[in-house]
Structure formats: structure tokens, C-alpha cells
A and B are shown apart, each in its own frame.
Chain A
Amino acid sequence: MMPDLGRYALEVSLAYVVSLGMIGALALFYWVRGRAVKRQLAEIETRRGENG
């Protein structure tokens, strides 16, 4: 399945791995932070709801 990349195999795969890794890391960061903020906000809103 792997195409023959010839003598530039390292460079090409490196570019793909690094780029996808960086986009993945960014997406993961946005997702984790989004969940954390959502949870904290829900907490605060229920607390306010209880207090009136």
C-alpha cells in the first residue's frame, strides 16, 4: 500500500507526520479546553440557580 517515495521518503513522511500532528494537537487542545469551560460554566450556572 505504501507508495515508493524514493530517496526523499524521510522528508515527505516527516512533513505529513509533523503537519497532521500539529493540526491534531491544536484540535485536541480546542476540544479539551472547550469541554473544560463548558463544564465549569454549567457548574456556576447550577450554583446560581440554587441560590436563587
Chain B
Amino acid sequence: MIALLTRDLRLALRAGGGFGLGLAFFLILAVLVPLGVGPEPATLALIAPGILWVGALLACLLSLDRIFALDFEDGSLDLLATAPVPLEAVVTIKALAHWLTTGLPLVLISPVLGLLLFLPAEAYLWLILSLLLGTPALSVIGTFGAALTVGLKRGGLLMSLLVLPLYIPTLVFGAEVVSRGAQGLAVNTPLALLAGITAGAVALLPFASAHVLRINLR
């Protein structure tokens, strides 16, 4: 399992693996929004939590089809399915690899983008914390979407349609944490709900993903 994780990480980091594309997208979004909305610091500070969360979500979505597509094409997914490791564990490792190469970098770069968007100083801690808590859910839910559409040609657009509605609760609570933090309000409730969604998704969704993957591989 460790070998699978390191293999996935190496593949993602290698040229053409798509590492960094999500990050670049996140950066471009944070540049485009002020250009579209106007340079007014007060306006930008108001919408910064939402923009940063939506940006993180879309950046996550962009890299989802890589989770299974390549392994499906060269047949290594069939090998993994018949390997002694349970498929649920394989799916979890895949989601973890996706989070390490997409979610974690997004968390680390988000303060810089917060600076570009005039995010109030009190909100940085909550931004990092909420993304740290929320992005694992995005990876796990995304893995489920990728497993659903793995055998399909042109599955990418369909996957966005399937995955984005599933992202709604995470987005709502995540952005709520940051905007409440920015206004200096209590953030315990949305933070706990966000953590709850992540815990539930990480615990349960790999079973659904593995089940779906078995259907697609038969």
C-alpha cells in the first residue's frame, strides 16, 4: 500500500502528471476575479472567502479524472482490483495521493492568494484550517465521481455534473467558517459540521467508490 502511494505520487509529480496545473488554475482564478470585479479592497475582502473556496473546489475538480483514467487505460486498474489488497484500501490510497498532490498544495498557497484578495487578517487561520479540514472530503467525493465515470469516453464533463452537487455542503460550511472568521464571529458550528462531513465522507465513501469501480471493471 505504501508502494502504491509512492507510485501514485511519483506519477503525479513527473512531467505531464498534472501536478501544479490545479495550483496554477487556483492562482489564475485569484487574479481574474479582481480584474472582473474591480480593485475595491472592501468588495474583494467581502467576497474573498467564497472565491477562495470555490477556487479550491474547481482546482480539485480539474485533476480528478487523473485518479483512475491512466490506470484504467493501461490495465493496471484490473491488476489492482485482483490484488490481495482490498479495493476499498486502493481507493482510499488513491484519494490520499490526490489530496497530497492537489489539496495540500492548495492549502499551502491559499494565504498568498488571500493576500491578493485583501482577506482580513483574522481570517487567515480559519482559511487554512477550513481548507485543511475540507479538502480531504473534496478528494474522497471526487474519487467517487471518478470511479463512477472511469469507463466512459468524455467522462470529464459528466463527472463535473455529478461531483459538483456533492460538493455543495462542504463548500457551504467551508466558506461559512472563513467569512465568519473574517467578521470575528464564532466559527465552532460550521467548523464542526465541516469536520463531520469530512469524517463521514472519508469513512463511508470509499466503500461506494470501490463498489462502483468493481461494477465498471466487470
**Are chains A and B touching directly in their complex (CB below 8 angstroms)?**
no
User: Which residues on A are within 8 Å of B, measured CB to CB?
Assistant: none
